[in-house]
Amino acid sequence: MTTSALHRALTEQGDPVLRPLPAPAAELLLACAAPPRLAAHLRAVHDVAAQLLDWLAERYPRLAVNPVAVLFGAATHDIGKIEHPAELSGPGSRHESAGHRLLLSYGVGEEFARFAGSHANWDHPEASTEELLVSLADKIWKGARVPDLEQLVVERLAAAGDEQPWQAFLALDDVVGRIAEGADARLAFQARYPTVAG
C-alpha cells in the first residue's frame, strides 16, 4: 500500500522543482514500499543527473553516453537502502550489493542494475562514463566536490571535446558549481520526508 508520504516524495512540485523519476523507477519504489526519504533522495540525485546530461548534450555532444541508463541509474542507485534502512541516515555500504540484487530480482537488466552496485566505486579502472556521471550526481546533489572523481570525468570530456584537459576542467567546474548552489534546497526537500515507510 502506498503511503501518502511516499507518494508526495515521488510527485511533489515546489521548491526545489525536481523532475519526476522515470516511470519504471517510480513503480519499483512504490512496489517495494520504499521509505519516503529514499524516494526524495533519488529524485534529487536524478534531477542533478538530468541537469548534467542537458549540459553535456549542449557542450559535449560527441561524448558517447546512454542518457536513459544514467537517468535510471541515478533514480535507483540507492534502492538497496530499502533493505538496509539504517544507511538512509548513517554510513554503510551493504545497500550497494543489496540494491543490485533487488533490481535484478525485479527483472531489471544488468545495464541498468549495475549502478546500484557501482555508484560508490567510481575509481574502478573499468568504470563507464555513465557510472562516473551517476557517481558525480550523487556527490553534487548535496554540494560535495570530489576532485579525483571530477578529474576522471574531465578526461572523458577532453577526449570527446578534442580539447585540453584544463579547458574541460574549467567547463565542468563551472557547471558543477552552478548545480551545487541548489544543494541546500535539495537537502531540505529530502529532510522533509521520514526515513521509515508507513
The model's pLDDT over 126-145, given as tens digits with 9 standing for 90+, comes to 999 999 999 999 999 999 99
Is residue 128 in some structural domain?
Answer: yes
Tell me which residue range forms the domain holding 65. Answer: 4-191
Residue 3 — very low, low, confident or very high, per pLDDT cuts 50/70/90?
low
**Residues making up the chain, counted from first to last:** 198
- Number of folded domains in the chain? 1
The mean-pLDDT minimum among 49-63, 113-127, 174-188 falls in 113-127
Cβ neighbourhood burial of 192 (10 Å; 0-12, 13-18, 19+): middle
The CA distance from 29 to 79, in Å, is 8
Is residue 65 in some structural domain?
Answer: yes
Residue 2 has pLDDT above 80, yes or no: no
Is residue 197 in some structural domain?
Answer: no
The CA distance from 148 to 150, in Å, is 5
Averaged confidence pLDDT in the chain: 93
Residue 50 host element (H or E)? helix 36-59
Is the pTM of the predicted complex or chain greater than 0.75? yes
Is residue 69 in some structural domain?
Answer: yes
The CA distance from 104 to 100, in Å, is 6
